[in-house]
Amino acid sequence: MSLKLYGYWRSSATYRTRIALNLKQLDYEIIPVHLVKEGGEQHQQPYARLNPAELVPTLVDEDEDIILNQSLAIIEYLDERYDSGQPLLPEHKLQRARVRALAYDIAADIQPLVNLRVLQYIQREHGIDDENKSLWCRHWIEKGFTAIEERLQTTAGKYCFGFDLSLADICLVPQVYNATRFGVDLDKYPLISRIASNCNQLTAFEQALPENQPDAG
């Protein structure tokens, strides 16, 4: 198989990449990188050589001889490289810009603040306990979701932008999954909840669910 996805079942960024690969109907091999076991396999060789940032995911496309990090760069690459399946960005440049902005509202303004390495750091360096780690996560997720819920009022249909799936939905669903883990009350975000639920009825999303991965547990 020419596509190899290095990642972790519960990582939001890996989850996004799985959804995109599934929507593009691509075959890929999952190579688990355990983020917790023995201090984290992402910090050890051989993975750290593949991705010096020691973060997941990393995609290797052997046909193109490319090793690529950053889920959003990977997803745009897949969309430009492969015609199969679902387009992940709209054709019109204004619409594409809006989709990207909503994707970054999640991928730049929420997720980087609530990921594992940040939680490990605030616990280790600032003695923040589990209860306060959850408070921290809820704060940033709720701040982000409040703005996104407002934006969706003018764009949403069945999905974030009308009736076509896009990169925005690919980012939203893993963030909703993550919000649930940290006890965010999703009833406050009816559009977000409805869109996530619509997405989760699709096979591409269902097969990408963390608990359906070989390394889950």
Q: Which of 104, 116, 191, 209 lies at the binding interface for a second copy (CB under 8 A)?
A: 104
Closest CB to a second copy among 184 and 202? 184
Alpha carbons 59 and 176: distance in angstroms, whole number: 24
Closest CB to a second copy among 80 and 185? 80
Q: Which of 42, 70, 166, 213 lies at the binding interface for a second copy (CB under 8 A)?
A: 70
116 scored as a contact of a second copy (CB under 8 A): no
Among the residue ranges 30-38, 92-100, 180-188, 193-201, the one whose residues contact a second copy (CB under 8 A)? 92-100
Residue type, 9: W
CB of 70 to a second copy, least distance (A): 4
Alpha carbons 59 and 37: distance in angstroms, whole number: 21
- Helix-helix angle 130-152:190-200, to 10 degrees: 90
Name the one residue in this structure whose structure tokens are 């408070």.
Answer: 135
CB of 127 to a second copy, least distance (A): 9
Q: Which of 30, 44, 85, 96 lies at the binding interface for a second copy (CB under 8 A)?
A: 96
170 class by beta-carbon count within 10 Å (0-12 exposed, 13-18 middle, 19+ buried): buried
Alpha carbons 211 and 217: distance in angstroms, whole number: 7
Are 62 and 36 spatial neighbours (Cβ–Cβ below 8 Å)? no
Q: Evaluate the CA torsion angle 21, 25, 29, 30 in order and state its sign.
A: positive
Closest CB to a second copy among 1 and 94? 94
Q: Which of 41, 105, 164, 169 lies at the binding interface for a second copy (CB under 8 A)?
A: 105
Is the link from the previous residue into 112 a cis peptide, with omega within 30 of 0?
A: no
Number of residues engaging a second copy in binding (CB under 8 A) = 44
Closest CB to a second copy among 38 and 91? 91
Helix (H, G, I), strand (E, B) or coil at 91: coil
Among the residue ranges 28-36, 72-80, 157-165, 183-191, the one whose residues contact a second copy (CB under 8 A)? 72-80
Closest CB to a second copy among 82 and 177? 82
Are 160 and 152 spatial neighbours (Cβ–Cβ below 8 Å)? yes
| Residues within the interface to a second copy (CB under 8 A) | 52-55, 64, 66, 68-70, 72-74, 76-77, 80-81, 93-94, 96-98, 100-101, 103-105, 107-109, 111-113, 118, 121-122, 125-126, 128, 139, 144, 146-147, 150-151
